[in-house]
Chain A
Amino acid sequence: MTERPLPAPGPDAVKSCCAAAYGTDAVALLLGESYHPGGLALTRRLADSLAPAPGARVLDVASGPGTTARLLAAEYGARVDGVDLGPATVATARAVTERAGLADRVRFHEGDAERLPFAAGTFDALVCECALCTFPDKEAAAAEFARVLRPGGRVGITDVTVAEGGLPEELAGIAGWVSCIADARSEEGYRALLEQAGLRVRRAERHVTAIARMVEQIDARLRLLGMTAPERLAEAGVDARALTPYLEAARAAVADGTVGYSLLLADKPGSAGS
């Protein structure tokens, strides 16, 4: 196979039009770096599950442009810290938050999920949306989640799942440019990660429609770009027609459960004390 529907990881054409942190990610290219399946509705479901009290301290790991962090502050009254790898992303999140008048309650930090820049026991709750799947050392990240939570604190994650047997053959080739599925785990795999870090998983929910919708959105965006800016798409080395079989395979994988999206809710044993 010499034809590539999307550019191989790394070409400047793609990097130049994507956030650096997502440089080679096709999902980010098409849906934007802040995209995560399920949208605001699933974020609210996650937040409702955590139910942070007013004034509670919440950490958003891989906070992107800060939409979730601001939602937690504005709708739940939480004091939120967001951590993200990319300096530009953090700067954007700060600027938007400043404009929204939430800078006193929402702060952003450059940092790595595998080495969180906070003292142990700092947070009442932690969220991580569609990001654990991309962390190279997931065990280290999960251990960090457990460390920065206070006893009794809660962690909520939503993430892409790939069944134990791995991706079907037709989709194996896209792992190189869809970072979220390259190293995604099964729901049981995420559960084990959290449990090994000393967290107790209280609930796991499947949100298949969230990922099904993502596939449709990617399809729609590709076609929109084909309509309105075909030359830019060509410049970036993207051949929309060659992608069609991959999208069909992705739909099938979602339909048969190979690829999914899950919400997991866990807590750190021990009581908050008084």
Chain B
Amino acid sequence: MADKARDRDEIFVEYTKSVCPVCKVVVDAQVNIRDNKVYLRKRCKDHGWFEALVYGDAQLYTESTRFNKPGTLPLAFQTEVRDGCPSDCGLCPEHKQHACLGIIEVNTGCNLDCPICFADSGRQQERRGPDTGGYSITREQCALMLDTFVEAEGEPEVVMFSGGEPTIHADILDFVDMAIERPIKIVNINTNGIRLATDPKFVDALAGRNGRNGTAVNVYLQFDGFEEATHRAIRGTDLRERKRRALDNCAEAGLTVTLVAAVERDLNDHELGDIIAFGVDHPAVYAVTFQPVTHSGRHVEFDPLTRLTNSDVMEMITEQRPDWFRPGDFVPVPCCFPTCRSVTYLLVDRKDDRTDVIPLPRLVDVDDYLDYASNRVLPDPELRASLERLWSASAFMNAPTTMDGLAAATANAECAACGIDLPEAAKDLGDRVFMIVVQDFLDPYTLNVKQLMKCCVEEITPDGRIIPFCAYNSVGYREQVRARMSGVEVADVVPNSRQLADVTVESPYGSRIARDGHREEAGEQPPVAPDHTNVGRRAVEEP
């Protein structure tokens, strides 16, 4: 009996490039839809097949393609196109977007040793001595990094000081001053909050800089939930009291805080609604960012096929607060690739007995205005411009451009309803608006150069490069910079997936690295992400 031809169980939707999670060699990749979920699959000649979930809702994934806006050219590129993406970072002239946000990691040291840290930071140097491969940047290096950013952007939107833990760098306030002196609109301090909780003078020093020279200074506070188990699993210690004090100190000093939650499946994904509700009620908090844990650097063991994605997080938010959210309340951000980041804004109505919220996309047809798929004639280009400022990686509460955009968008929403002087009514919405961001970063499993090429969140390196955040973490640039800065060899980090448990060992930083340590074989330092896809050979061998 002849076999009957069968259909594949998946729909092939994209062909792209990625890297091998083990050896970081560039390989072909394919994106497929199976059971209404989106997966990226690839094969390394040496390490075999890899597959990971990239979006939990295939319909949302395909519909989001229309939220894709033409990129803006930066004023300067730092590298040339030589081997192609992702080996030429950056930014190379083939990059499709300017930098909405530049990250400056001021150190690798931290006052915590969290089990989850994409930067592989911690107290390693204190514990194991100076040869463990850590570094802190100097003022000269910080100046060069800021100047690189200004040269590329003219008037950069956002600089984020990160680490490590930036608040333990002796020069952090000077770094903030150096940013404020330059034409940079927003400075964010990305922190675990320990110093904010314990050093009110430091909080005051930051608050005193907020608004100086027209630059907003905000706090981006790591905040993963309320349960002790959450804190122990993600941070290794119970930080609840520290977080509370940090927030109260910020409120007292008048600093605007974004809560940033790293979300891991089955670990703290049940706390999303509570984090939003807490933030909405706290006087210092104006935004929450949810980031599915980036499986680069250090993290707990995971299964790439069931990892959390943006659509999962949005679904969970809706399930946990059905009184506040419905499907469709989040809209993809069009400046980066639309599946990377979704955002909503809430208008908050605090009554005596309860708090209600109104998601802005229910008031304004945001999806009509941010739909770039066809060349369209819009009734109100100014409203689109306002919404673009809001649905952007550079949007931060307390920044003038963001607040202006909110006032304009809300006023428009109200104008359609009759007769009420709405721009006037919208003026004092400032402290009644709350922002929620859902951002899934790429890891060595999910890396897709299509997304990378339009990334607008960039790491600024001490040697004057601007490297897409996800390339920096997943392709090998982080290891390269750490090795050059510290003078200590740094092996490529490999994800801590179940599948790879047998071929990896623990690194000096707590992350996983390949058991065979392929990097050392090469003698001299190999290039980042050597390319197996553009090998310079004929497609078909000559006879």
Give chain A's interface residues, CB within 8 Å of chain B: 16-18, 28-32, 34-35, 39-41, 44, 67, 70-71, 74-75, 96, 100, 213, 216-217, 219-221, 223-229, 232
Contact = CB atoms under 8 A, between A and B. Distances in A.
A67 B379 CA distance: 7
Question: Which DSSP category, helix, strand, loop or mixed, fits chain B's interface?
Answer: mixed
B314 to A, nearest CB: 16
Interface string B385-426: 000000000000000000000000010011111111110011
B238 interface: no
B420 A228 contact: yes
B365 A40 contact: yes
Interface of B: 326, 328, 347, 349, 356, 358-359, 362-363, 365, 367-368, 371, 374-377, 379, 410, 413-422, 425-426, 429, 432
Contacts of A32: 415-418
B363 A232 contact: no
B418 A223 contact: no
Given A41-B368, A224-B414, A217 B375 contact: no
A247 to B, nearest CB: 12
Given A32-B418, A100-B377, A229-B421, 13 more contacts: A70-B379, A74-B377, A75-B377, A96-B379, A217-B363, A221-B417, A223-B356, A224-B363, A224-B414, A224-B417, A227-B358, A232-B419, A232-B420
Contacts of A225: 414, 417, 420
Given A67-B379, A216-B362, A229 B368 contact: no
Contacts of A216: 326, 362
Nearest to B427: A228
Contact of A227 (B349, B359, B362, B419): B349
A61 B75 CA distance: 49
A254 to B, nearest CB: 12
Nearest to A222: B417
A223 B349 contact: yes
A70 B377 contact: yes
B373 to A, nearest CB: 10
Nearest to A44: B374
A185 to B, nearest CB: 26
Nearest to B378: A40
Contacts, number: 87
Contact of B367 (A18, A41, A67, A227): A41
Given A35-B416, A224-B414, A229 B425 contact: yes
Contact of B368 (A34, A39, A74, A228): A39
A71 B379 CA distance: 9
Contact of A17 (B349, B376, B419, B425): B419
28 contacts: A16-B419, A17-B419, A18-B419, A28-B418, A31-B416, A32-B415, A34-B416, A39-B365, A40-B376, A41-B371, A44-B374, A75-B375, A100-B377, A213-B328, A217-B362, A220-B359, A220-B362, A221-B417, A223-B358, A224-B347, A224-B414, A225-B414, A226-B349, A227-B349, A228-B425, A228-B429, A229-B414, A232-B419
A23 to B, nearest CB: 11
Contacts of A220: 358-359, 362-363
A224 B422 CA distance: 11
Contacts of B418: 17-18, 28-29, 32
Contacts of B420: 17, 225, 228-229, 232
A75 B374 contact: yes
B432 A31 contact: no
Contacts of B326: 216
A13 to B, nearest CB: 9
Q: Which of B326, B356, B362, B422 has the most CB of A within 10 A?
A: B362
A31 B421 CA distance: 15
Nearest to B375: A75
Contacts of A34: 416
A42 to B, nearest CB: 10
Contacts of A75: 374-377
A228 B416 contact: no
B347 A227 contact: yes
A196 B97 CA distance: 56
Contacts of B417: 29-32, 221, 224-225
A32 B349 CA distance: 23
Contacts of A226: 349
